[in-house]
A = this chain, B = another copy of it.
Amino acid sequence: MPTENELAARARLTHEVEVTPAFYDIDVMEVVYHGHYVKYLELARSALLAQYDYDYPRMRDSGYAWPVVDMRLKYVRSATFGQKLKVSATITEWENRLRIDYVMRDAATGHKVNVAHTIQVAVNIATREMCFVCPPVLHDRLGVSA
- A residues bordering B, Cβ < 8 Å? 22-24, 26-31, 33-35, 38-39, 42-43, 46, 55-57, 60, 65, 67-75, 78, 81-82
Contacts and interface: CB of A to CB of B under 8 A. Distances in A.
A46 B23 contact: yes
B65 A69 contact: no
Given A29-B65, A82-B57, A71 B34 contact: yes
Given A28-B30, A38-B34, A38-B38, A23 B56 contact: yes
The count of identical subunits is: 4
Chain A contact residues: helix, strand, loop or mixed: mixed
Contact of A72 (B56, B71, B82): B71
Contacts of A42: 22-24, 35
Nearest to A76: B69
A28 B66 CA distance: 12
A102 to B, nearest CB: 13
7 contacts: A22-B42, A23-B33, A23-B46, A26-B27, A35-B39, A57-B81, A57-B82
